[in-house]
């Protein structure tokens, strides 16, 4: 059936859920690596009027208040010792005598404890789970949680600015749903996790790499597109370009590293291969980690992606996923350390998910955070003048490998 038509043939109304609350925005804005970013994001989405449906629109935006995650929700993945420590507010100030050290649970360096950490963990995990549950209820096509996307948090410790593994928890929640078949029976859903962040999705990939045996198909496929280099966080053998000839190769845990200076042109060249993997796996749900630290202007200054400059831009990729992929989509946030640009990006992606993309040349509306968008005061995040170091030979190798991998996946899928 055409996803744009109802069973009676009339235009179908698309439902987009957007997880937000004042408490979530204020608590997420305490995150040491992204102070006040959440408030900027949600205030810009509101300033552009995206919470109000346009006359004649076939898309309905449904704001959802996050339900804080319970201990049992979090313990689906995280260890009890870790949760007992990080959910005790006293440990955000000073660990009590006789308790494990902060270092044991990763609460140092890039993951310092902070006031509000227990509420942050419960709210961010709960927000992503609220979004996932909206997709499972059958009435939502796309769910958005820009405060989620914490893809480095490990089972028993914080890592890489990430204190809670909301990506993993969301995937595990979706995995427990059922897909109805025309004959009235049900099957387990297939879930594609696609990570667009500058950094490798180490915790997510590691969580599901052993979920298959040598011949069975997997219910979950992870594909991370990222940068990797000696000393670049995170270091992991899984971050290298997936190689079907490697004895440890898993066709359902895939990595596609790209070089310094990666531009929209390189993304455009590899995107057909990404869609080949998707078309072969045929997901019922796609979870997209929309980290924007690869945009030009980010302090990491590693990639040179544009937001909305045509084919291969981040906005173009999200548009393809939301409008062409014929599955339910969960959009999560992630990295992005130029906060006004992150707000620009996720506001633009929200408009794309609604099927009414804003013009990148649109002026930023007058609102309390308006001065942060100097000097351009427009929505766009254009590419800079950085050389793309991905060679044509390397991109050809990426395409060749992913084509081989798609054949392997097809063989596994036929074994169902």
- Mind telling me the catalytic residues? 152
| Side-chain-facing half-sphere of 314: CA atoms under 13 Å | 38
Closest to 167 measured CA to CA, from 197, 139, 201: 201
Q: Where are the beta strands (DSSP E) in 274-404?
A: 285-289, 328-332
Helix pair angle (117-136, 166-175), 10° resolution: 30
Structure-block tokens of residue 121: 């963990």
Task: Kindly state the DSSP code that residue 12 receives in the 8-state scheme.
Answer: P
Rounded CA separation 328/70 (Å)? 25
Contact 151, 201 (CB under 8 A): yes
Which residues on adjacent β-strands are paired with residue 220?
Answer: 191
3-state secondary structure of 10: coil
Contact 124, 147 (CB under 8 A): yes
Closest to 352 measured CA to CA, from 331, 334, 336: 331
Rounded CA separation 403/405 (Å)? 5
């Amino acid at each position: 059936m055409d996803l744009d038509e109802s069973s009676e043939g009339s235009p179908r109304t698309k439902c987009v859920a957007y997880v937000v609350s004042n408490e979530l925005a204020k608590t997420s804005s305490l995150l040491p690596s992204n102070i006040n970013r959440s408030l900027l994001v949600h205030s810009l989405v509101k300033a552009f009027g995206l919470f109000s449906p346009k006359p004649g629109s076939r898309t309905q935006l449904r704001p959802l208040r996050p339900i804080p995650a319970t201990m049992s929700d979090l313990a689906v993945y995280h260890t009890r010792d870790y949760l007992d420590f990080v959910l005790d507010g006293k440990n955000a100030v000073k660990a009590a005598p006789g308790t494990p050290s902060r270092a044991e649970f990763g609460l140092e360096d890039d993951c310092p404890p902070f006031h509000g950490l227990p509420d942050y963990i419960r709210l961010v995990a709960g927000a992503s789970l609220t979004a996932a549950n909206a997709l499972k209820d059958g009435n939502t096509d796309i769910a958005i949680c820009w405060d989620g996307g914490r893809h480095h948090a490990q089972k028993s410790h914080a890592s890489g600015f990430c204190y809670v593994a909301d990506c993993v928890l969301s995937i595990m929640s979706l995995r427990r749903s059922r897909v109805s078949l025309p004959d009235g029976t049900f099957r387990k859903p297939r879930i594609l996790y696609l990570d667009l962040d500058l950094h490798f999705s180490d915790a997510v990939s590691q969580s599901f790499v052993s979920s298959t045996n040598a011949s069975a198909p997997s219910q979950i496929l992870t594909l991370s597109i990222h940068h990797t280099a000696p000393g670049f966080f995170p270091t992991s053998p899984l971050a290298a370009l997936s190689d079907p000839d490697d004895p440890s190769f898993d066709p359902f845990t895939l990595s596609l590293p790209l070089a310094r200076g990666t531009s929209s042109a390189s993304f455009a060249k590899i995107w057909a291969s990404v869609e080949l993997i998707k078309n072969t796996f045929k997901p019922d749900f796609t979870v997209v980690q929309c980290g924007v630290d690869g945009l030009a202007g980010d302090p990491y200054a590693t990639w040179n992606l544009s937001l909305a400059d045509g084919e291969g831009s981040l906005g173009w990729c999200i548009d393809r996923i939301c409008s062409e992929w014929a599955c339910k989509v969960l959009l999560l946030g992630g990295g992005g350390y130029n906060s006004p640009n992150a707000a620009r990006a996720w506001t633009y992606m929200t408009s794309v998910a609604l099927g009414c993309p804003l013009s990148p040349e649109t002026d930023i509306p007058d609102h309390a955070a308006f001065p942060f968008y100097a000097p351009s005061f427009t929505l766009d995040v254009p590419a800079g003048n950085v050389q793309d170091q991905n060679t044509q030979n390397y991109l050809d190798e990426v395409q060749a490998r992913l084509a081989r991998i798609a054949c392997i996946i097809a063989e596994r899928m036929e074994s169902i």
